[in-house]
A and B are shown apart, each in its own frame.
Chain A
């Protein structure tokens, strides 16, 4: 089993930068994906393979992964970015982090 640890909540002022961490043992050696889920909606991919953005995802979304922490960064956060964010990886089976609720103040 592989445990992924995320902070339950993160707050950011409108237009500022938010960072959401995802901790795991030597996670830097694995490929991490990030999903955004808004209330009442299915999750949607925002970052894949650590730092790649799918088409249609704004450049303000970026990712990094090193050591024991992967990070999703949202630069210039907007009200529409308010959502739950989940990290995920594959390590002989699938694993999700517990999720982080992003609040844009």
Chain B
């Protein structure tokens, strides 16, 4: 079945870097755009980044622009989020989600999320 599994979360100090991964299975990964969405503890959903099916187009939210980078490796069926210069306000559960052929499409499949606490 269609499945997304995030990994790479964990406690990280402010100013440090972390890379999240999202392993996809059960569908043709290279045909779908992908997104990262985060949720701070007790708060709502915040869109983080999106990437086209072939990786040629990338979009990042204002709060992470210049610090976070979305990427993908279609040969490994894996989505990534490189997070640099982390701040306390980046503390959240990070979800990867599948869109359709376009980044504009709805998010029809979500992973279970990985927690990133940013703390000294």
Q: Is the CB of B62 within 8 A of A86?
A: no
Q: Is the CB of B61 within 8 A of A93?
A: yes
Q: What is the CB-to-nearest-CB distance from B112 to chain A, in angstroms, rounded to a whole number?
A: 6
CA distance A35 to B37 in the complex (A): 13
Q: Is the CB of B44 within 8 A of A93?
A: no
Chain A residues within 8 Å of B62, by CB:
1, 93
Known: A42-B113, A98-B44. Is A54-B108 also a contact (CB below 8 A)? Answer: yes
Known: A42-B95, A42-B113, A93-B61. Is A86-B45 also a contact (CB below 8 A)? Answer: yes
Residue of B45, B103, B111 ringed by the most chain A CB atoms within 10 A: B45
A95 and chain B: residue at smallest CB distance: B47
A94 CB-CB contact with B under 8 Å: yes
Chain A residues within 8 Å of B105, by CB:
48, 90
Q: What is the CB-to-nearest-CB distance from B99 to chain A, in angstroms, rounded to a whole number?
A: 9
Q: What is the CB-to-nearest-CB distance from A100 to chain B, in angstroms, rounded to a whole number?
A: 10
Chain B residues within 8 Å of A86, by CB:
44-45
Q: Which of B54-100 contact A (CB under 8 A)?
A: 59-62, 95, 97
New A-B pairs, 16, CB < 8 Å, besides A43-B97, A90-B105, A96-B44: A31-B104, A37-B45, A42-B110, A42-B113, A45-B106, A45-B107, A48-B108, A54-B108, A86-B44, A88-B106, A88-B107, A90-B103, A93-B50, A94-B50, A94-B59, A96-B46
